[in-house]
Amino acid sequence: MKPLLLIDVDGVLNPFGRPEPGFRRYRCTLGREVYTVHLNPRHGARLLELALATGAELVWATTWEHHANEWIAPRIGLPPLPVVPMGPVQESELGEMFKTPHVAEYVESRPFVWFDDQVAREDEEYLRERQGLDRFLLIPVDPVNGLTSAHLAMARDWLTLSGFSQGR
């Protein structure tokens, strides 16, 4: 089974702090809401390279859901990706964030790496205890700075050392 690389948008690809050089500013309209996002076009190439090198499949795990394919993917050079459905919001069992049960349902028994600025110990506990999953890596991303080379290297190392990488 191909491992999954789950990607959040806000706080990961769209950092909340002052963007570093290389980020571009965009205004996105979703319904009546207008959002300003700062995106680094190099993130797309780096995520694609990670997926290719490890044999993993990229998947959106964001409240942007399918809007990420419309507004985020083309601006960073990603093709349309599968999306983890994020609704309806379920009551927390162990203090896990609202996305975690949806991620658990989506991944089923596939190994995965999840880049998110809100993952914490409670999310790992929920996934291990409530869902019986044990082949995953949660990578907390500092929402001020967003996704970095260190996060990508951590994912590559885990996928490779865990034997999920297909050595491509």
- For residue range 110-161, list pLDDT tens digits in order: 999 999 999 999 999 999 987 778 799 999 999 999 999 999 999 999 999 9
Q: In one letter, which amino acid is 149? A: S
b/e per residue, 48-85, with b = 16+ CB within 10 A? Answer: bebbeebebbbbbbbebeebbbebbbebbebeebebbe
**From the candidate CATH numbers 3.90.70, 3.30.2450, 1.10.150, 3.40.50, the one assigned to the domain spanning 4-161:** 3.40.50
What's the pLDDT band for 166 if we cut at 50, 70, 90?
low
User: With 50 as the cut, is the pLDDT of residue 168 above it?
Assistant: no
H or E stretch including 159? Answer: helix 149-161
Task: Supply the pLDDT for residue 65.
Answer: 96
Q: For residues 100 and 133, which has the higher predicted lDDT (pLDDT)?
A: 100
If you average pLDDT over residues 100-116, what whole number do you get?
94
pTM of the model: 0.94
User: With 60 as the cut, is the pLDDT of residue 14 above it?
Assistant: yes
Q: pLDDT tens digit string along 33-85?
A: 999 999 999 999 999 999 999 999 999 999 999 999 999 999 999 999 999 99
Residue pair 114/6 in contact by the 8 Å Cβ criterion: yes
Residue pair 103/79 in contact by the 8 Å Cβ criterion: no
Q: Is the dihedral of CA 8, 11, 140, 79 positive or negative?
A: positive
H or E stretch including 74? Answer: helix 73-76
What residue spans define the domains of the chain? 4-161
Task: Supply the pLDDT for residue 75.
Answer: 97
